[in-house]
A and B are shown apart, each in its own frame.
Chain A
Amino acid sequence: MRGGGPGSAVGPARSAARVPSALLVPAAAGLVFLLLPLAALLVRAPWAELPGQLGSPQVWQALRLSLLSATTATALCLVLGVPLAWVLARTDFPGRRLVRALVTVPLVLPPVVGGVALLLALGRDGLVGRLLDDWFGVTLPFTTAGVVVAEAFVAMPFLVISVEGTLRAADPRFEEAAATLGASRFTAFRRVTLPLIAPGVAAGAVLAWARALGEFGATITFAGSFPGRTQTMPLAVYLALQNDPAAAVALSLVLLAVSVAVLGAMRDRWTAGVGA
């Protein structure tokens, strides 16, 4: 190393010590900004009351509903979103760019506006909701199914964008190879493309699941807040905050713990899957 000249001597030092303060200071501030609220949640949690709070059936009811609806919404996103992403990535039709832009609208739409839009479309008097009611006797608003619909509406763009990006990065010639072996486009998708993009689909599903788990605005607008039916954890936290702040903190801790645990487990699984 001594003969390596000034360049090699600077090399190792550069990574550790010589971070410009113009970057280091905002980086540290950003980290504090992200972690401080979480720390406050832990510091100010009513640890003594916690066992009592967690014993209340209302907490478990809300948690169960949240996990169930977020997972169902994610499944819905996968069933509809992965094919949509494939069509956007692998086919060419007039207006494809427009469709792609429209898919991302729910990303930027305030969730409450999304909830209003869902009511106008799928509400009892909505464009399609009326037909659902007349023909099948199905009403979505203010039901658990409505929660799933609201969450899926908000979460699906995350999945579509993520999977489409993975598909574009994947080599389409594997699909051609499958075609020369006699595979229809659907068989090629199912047996070749899907396994190849599985990590990207999993990443998109986790993003969608996390977004669905935290969904508030569209859910409360479209599905209301009925305990046991449509009152998910975020709604329960918000309502508890009005009259029982200690319960709100307890609920928040549970939600935080569950999210971190699930994301951690998923992350380990993919990294293991990619490395094998």
Chain B
Amino acid sequence: MTAGGGSVTAGLDARLVVRRGDFLLDVALTAAPGEVVALLGPNGAGKTTALRALAGLVALDEGHLRLDGAELAPLPAERRPVGVVFQDHLLFPHLSALDNVAFGPRCQGMPRRAARAEAGRWLERVGLAAHADARPRRLSGGQAQRVALARALAIRPRLLLLDEPLAALDARTRLETRAALRRHLDDFEAVTVLVTHDPLDAMVLADRLVVVEDGRVVQTGPPDLVARRPRTDYVARLVGLNLYRGAASGHLVRVDGAEATVTVTDELTGEVFVAFPPSAVTLHRERPVGTSARNVWRCRVAGIETHGDRIRADLTGELPMGAGLTAVAAAELRLAPGVEVWAAVKAEQTHAYPAG
């Protein structure tokens, strides 16, 4: 309603409501032209359903979907100016890379020769002109993904949707494709919505994150802000932070559901989040004395995992947390599940921010 008054708002303005049995998706999304929005969330959160609703492959039960001021919800998928890059690329196996890319322009009524010339230019832009005649099964995963991108862009969409565009690729290809994709998205002048469960993809590719859990938006903001100030356990885990909610008064935060307080440098009152990275935690067998750390909690080791040359210990007790330490430190402390430890965190290493 706020966008009303007859003025045409460029970009995406949607509220997507889809019911699937007990599952309810209710997600509001807005994006300006040129903006890349990442829908980030765990499996089953409804991200892909939201993407399919934007594409017209799933009908909205409620809500609206306006793109550059035009209502798209009543239109079938083939009438929407929306391009989709599917997770497993879904290139037509019986057509060459060139004919895959020419498919969209052909459907828009472009003559065959012109459509193929256009497709050739798109393949050139993604660096695959040499593979124009190749069938999809002859392409590597990264190449197929780039052809799929060219195919989606060739219809000149006003909204580009990417469904886990890098999930099917191996680690090395992923790195290269991610960088290339970032460049193409920078050149793309319309709205891009990206679905991913990989925080790194989201951070690198998106201008703004929309975190979806259980069909709802739980947090939205620029990647660096979301990474610094997570608002749910899911996001905190993704960005590798210990996160607590509690009541602040002055520099002291009483943590909800735990017998612990956290001393912080920020001065706040009311409901707040407190976050600190596992690397900020130091562990001791005896209660540390004479330490500058303001926060000391009595904990018990619940589990230990190795990540490269680092050890991650999961702690329960006064304040549950993950602690990161070196293998040497872990050996000196003789860490093992069940061992009682003292965990210390300096106030300067914590970050508190309002929860409201």
Contact = CB atoms under 8 A, between A and B. Distances in A.
Same assembly: yes
Interface stretch (B3-11, B64-72, B74-82, B284-292): B74-82
Interface stretch (A16-24, A65-73, A184-192, A258-266): A184-192
Most buried by B among A171, A173, A180: A180
Contact of A177 (B76, B82, B90): B90
Contact of B78 (A184, A192, A195): A184
Nearest to B90: A177
A92 to B, nearest CB: 14
A180 B55 contact: yes
Contacts of A196: 92-94
B92 A174 contact: yes
Of residues A178, A182, A185, which shows the largest number of chain B Cβ atoms within 10 Å of its Cβ? A182
A181 B151 contact: yes
Interface stretch (B38-46, B100-108, B348-356): B100-108
Given A192-B92, A196-B94, A180 B76 contact: no
A200 to B, nearest CB: 13
A181 B82 CA distance: 8
A183 interface: yes
Contact of A176 (B77, B80, B93, B107): B77
B190 interface: no
Contacts of A185: 78
Contacts of A176: 55, 57, 77, 90
Interface string A156-190: 00000000000000010110111111111101000
B18 interface: no
B86 interface: yes
Contact of A180 (B57, B94, B108): B57
Interface string B84-104: 101000101110000000011
A177 B94 CA distance: 14
Given A179-B56, A179-B76, A184-B78, A173 B90 contact: yes
Interface string A40-62: 00000000000000000000000
B77 A179 contact: yes
A177 B78 CA distance: 10
B155 interface: yes
A179 B78 contact: yes
Contacts of B57: 176, 179-180
Q: Specify which of B77, B79, B108 lies most central, judged by the most chain A CB atoms within 10 Å of its CB.
A: B77
B115 to A, nearest CB: 11
Most chain B CB inside 10 Å of its own CB: which residue of A173, A176, A196: A176
B83 interface: yes
B103 A181 contact: yes
Contacts of B107: 178, 181-184, 187
Contacts of B78: 179-185
Give the 10 A-B CB pairs with smallest separation, nearest first: A182-B107, A181-B104, A179-B77, A177-B90, A180-B84, A195-B94, A183-B107, A179-B78, A182-B78, A176-B57
Interface of A: 171, 173-174, 176-185, 187, 191-192, 195-196
18 contacts: A173-B86, A173-B90, A174-B90, A174-B92, A176-B55, A177-B86, A177-B92, A178-B107, A179-B57, A180-B55, A181-B83, A181-B104, A182-B107, A183-B78, A184-B107, A185-B78, A196-B93, A196-B94
